[in-house]
Amino acid sequence: MAAMTAAPTPVHSTPRQAFLGGLLLAIIGAIFFSAKAIVAKLMYRYQVDAVMVITLRMLFSFPMFAAVALWKARTQPPLARADVLRIVVLGLMGYYLSSFLDFLGLQYISAGLERLILFLTPSFVMLIAFFFFKRKVGWIEWAALLVSYFGTVLVLQHDLHTGGSNVILGSALVLGSALSYSIYLISSGELVRRVGAVRLVAYAMCVSSVACLIQFFILRAPADLVTQVAPVYQLSLFNAVFCTVLPVFLTMVAVARIGAPTAAQAGLVGPVSTLFMGAVLLDEPITGIQLAGTALVLAGMWLLSRKKR
């Protein structure tokens, strides 16, 4: 009688392995999400504008978010009418308006400065909560705010000397993008708990996609969508898959594994990765002032994320 072969012992990941896996997902998500600025700058070399960039991005990402939205609609209870209205407003505010202002601003400023300004979003959330919801703010949070803002001003001052007067316009547009997304984050808190993060993001991104298409057909001829050179479509597909859909879901999985505070700290790699990707792919210079300003912004956001633990 043949000897019986022992069944293989299943391999279970340890808590440390699960943590490291979640941390890696958060880092990859932050790098890919930050890369959208690089992709947009590369697309601008083909004489397209922000309207075209955001429209193609949402056009290519829409089927993926629509599939998730349809799955959630079939497997979960229907939403109340009030929640549907809130999702529409949040989709317009958090994804459509925020993304459009961001891509507009990128026409005038470096990818590194854009990422630094957007990275101030947590501090804008804190300020909105302080002024409008009377939330108490400790001295560590105020210190984090001052340090990070000083770092941004340092980089902005540097770019003003090298990028011309349009740097102020571009920075203001990206600042508007960060404020818009901050309002979205504050307003979506209760809705996320009631609806679920995946469902909310999928629905809101579908709303944003429709808004982008309506805007395009108002401002541009429909034929413009199909008359671009091949690299524009290739970059748009990359932007949709790797800089939009993939980072959203990678970050969600990471938050589920390691928690929001740790995932937020992993996002500190975003501005640094953008700075170096800009140098390699866009020939944007890296100076000591930029590195110092970036370090100050990262230090401020690190302090803020530590306080929220």
The residues spanned by each domain of the chain are 19-303
How far are the Cα atoms of 82, 86, 161, 256 from residue 191, in angstroms, in the given order? 11, 8, 44, 18
Q: Six-digit token pair at 303?
A: 């302090």
Q: Six-digit token pair at 95?
A: 């994804």
Cβ neighbours around 219 below 10 Å, total: 12
300: exposed, middle or buried (Cβ count in 10 Å: 0-12, 13-18, 19+): buried
pLDDT band for position 171 (50/70/90)? very high
Q: Which of 290, 1, 13, 56 is nearest to 161 (CA)?
A: 290
Q: Which residues contact 41 (CB under 8 A, 6 or more apart)?
A: 106, 111, 278, 282
pTM of the model: 0.84
Task: In the chain, count H helices and then E strands.
Answer: 14, 0
Helix (H) or strand (E) holding 305: helix 288-307
> Dihedral sign, CA of 283, 285, 290, 291?
positive
Mean pLDDT of all residues belonging to the chain: 86
Angle at 111 between CA 108 and CA 116, to 5 degrees: 105
Residue 20 has what pLDDT?
80
Q: Region 175-196: what's the mean pLDDT?
A: 87
Residue 1 has what pLDDT?
39
Q: Which residues contact 96 (CB under 8 A, 6 or more apart)?
A: 207, 208, 211, 212
Residue 12 has what pLDDT?
55
| Predicted confidence (pLDDT) per residue in 213-262, tens digit | 999 999 999 999 999 999 999 999 999 999 999 998 888 788 778 776 66
Q: What is the DSSP string of 17-66?
A: HHHHHHHHHHHHHHHHHHHHHHHHHHHHTTT--HHHHHHHHHHHHHHHHH
77: exposed, middle or buried (Cβ count in 10 Å: 0-12, 13-18, 19+): exposed
Q: Region 83-105: what's the mean pLDDT?
A: 93
Calculate the CA dihedral of residues 64, 70, 75, 80 and round it to 10 degrees.
120
Is the Cβ–Cβ distance between 19 and 263 less than 8 Å? Answer: no
| Predicted confidence (pLDDT) per residue in 110-140, tens digit | 888 898 888 888 788 888 888 887 788 778 8
Q: Region 129-157: what's the mean pLDDT?
A: 82
Q: Which amino acid is at 120?
A: L
| Predicted confidence (pLDDT) per residue in 21-32, tens digit | 888 888 898 899
| Predicted confidence (pLDDT) per residue in 263-297, tens digit | 766 777 888 888 889 999 999 888 888 888 888 88
Residue 67 has what pLDDT?
96
Q: Which residues contact 281 (CB under 8 A, 6 or more apart)?
A: 38, 42
Residue 173 CA to residue 166 CA, distance in Å, equals: 11
